Structure 1
Amino acid sequence: MKRFLIHRTISSIRTFFAIITLVFFLARVTGDPLAELENDPRMTPEVLAAIKALFGLDKPLHEQYFDFLRNLFSGKLGYSLHYMRPVEELIAERLPYTLALLIPSITLSNYLAYRIGVEAGWRRGSKFDVAFISVSIFLRSVPYFWLAILFLYIFSVTLGLTPLFGAISPGKSFSWSWDWFADYLWHYALPFTVLVFRATLALVLYVRNTVVDILGEDYIVTAFAKGLPDKDIKFKHAARNAMLPIVTILGMRYAFLIDGAILTETVFSYPGTGRLVFEAIYNRDFWLLQGVVVILAASVIIVNFIIDIIYAFLDPRVKYR
């Protein structure tokens, strides 16, 4: 187990360094963030030079990269050109909103996908299974942003049941009160529903197919031959053993859900880190962009590392591969 942990730790660190390097250089492909200032007739060369010095743009690219690494490991993610504030402060403000959206949606979507997928797999070939597969394949092909726009049009524009944008109503500030919490839930309901709905569809077919494969295994056939109750075979044998392969894709699904959160937060103008990514790209603020992406990438790596450890406990054979 110790050797397995060391190997996974080294692999995670190597992946993290590759990602932050890629993010640093790709962020600068977007162009010069000071291009608009350079074309402003009111901008003097002295002020422009001072701004470049402040953001380190007067240095060669390799020096900017090492400055980025030095600041990163000292807990500094740079300074936002658009907001004129430290990036870590902006992320600290927005991250709780994203976590409040991601963690419950991941938990609920996994539970729903597991329960529905097990039932569909158990009733393979039935009318329920055929209808389930058809609807799932169709809805699974719908992109996050289109689904979010559709939900927004139906429930906000047409029915007026939910707000059009934001996490809280204008003029309200955070407070430990039921009034603030109820207002937050009112804004939260629709983006949360979109994420859960789409994330459930992304996993449920995988669960169903896994259960169908397991039902053909010898130990399941033996359980039927012994006359065990269907309920015991379904939940104690088929469903339980279906969890192992499902764990393997949870890390990948977390990354896809972050991608979905970026699009969903943008459509609903929900003030999370996903919306912050959109704002950074739109404003060519690559200090902000690289800071947010580094945090999101680190979270994906950590989640995958934890899942690897869980998988090793569930299936000790992976420790020796």
Structure 2
Amino acid sequence: MRSRQPRPEAGHAAGAWSRLRALPGFKASVVAFLVTVFIGGGTFAAVANWQQSSTATIAITAGAPAITAPPPVGGVVASPTLAVRPGAFVGGFSCTSAKQQGSVAFTFTWPAVTNATSYATTLSLTGPPATPVATESVTGTTAVFTFREAAVSNGTSYLLRIEPFDGATAGDPVYKSFTFSSNTSGQCDQVTPAAAPPLGTVSPTAQPVVRGATTSTMAINWTASTGATSYVVTVKSTTSGYGTEFTTGNLSATLTFPQAATDASGNLVNPADATAPYYCDYSFRIQPMNGTTAGDPVYRTIKYYSGSASMG
């Protein structure tokens, strides 16, 4: 006769069930099993699928530490994809003021900038510190700011910031000063910004280059910009088509440059490689961003050559 195995007592079964339910990922695993059985038609294949999928499901436990991504690597290549940025301001600016029935209107006009589709303008009291009093985004080359006459005094100095945009791509801003006079139309003069940028200033520094067999790396760090949530980094050769561009929320990045073959002493195997197009000066540009608000970009020069590399 076949021997009959004793059945587990109800208490033991309930305790085992409770311990099973307490396992991390148990509920998600049960749902995955039911879906797998439904798709597999209840066959042995479905059970096999369940065994394969449940391992990954249960391995995910609540409270596991998030994986921190390393700083982005800017690979300097021969034909990089770079954003089309607005050009530089060229030509004269016009600043005028006029009274209009208890109000005063300031009208600023500037020359069109290549590739610009709009301009973000900010008018500030010069201070220090500079205090923004009005902002306006325009698609043309004129901005008008109107104030109550009682709020404007003779001799008050203002600072105008104009930043061109090509869609959402920010260019380089320009600053102009303006002093209100009820008797004259005033004059625009380019000035050094006095705490007028909408985001804090960035200060980048570079670590010594690390040479490899086929590539070299240069770690770049920069100070945090007050109010910024990301940074747009552009590296562009001044003499060839090499470069890179990327956006990061970190305060550091690693640039990777091509490296010609060298011997055990670090000398070029082929001396002619010293004139390779990737050995050259690069323009390094970093611009703090917060959504569509762009801060002032900062420029540096990277000198990357077979025998030396630095940022200045």
TM over 0.5: no
Instruction: Compute the TM-score of the two structures, normalised by the length of structure 1.
Output: 0.26
Instruction: Compute the TM-score of the two structures, normalised by the length of structure 2.
Output: 0.27
From the CA coordinates, give the structure whose radius of gyration is larger: 2
Structure number having the greater strand percentage: 2
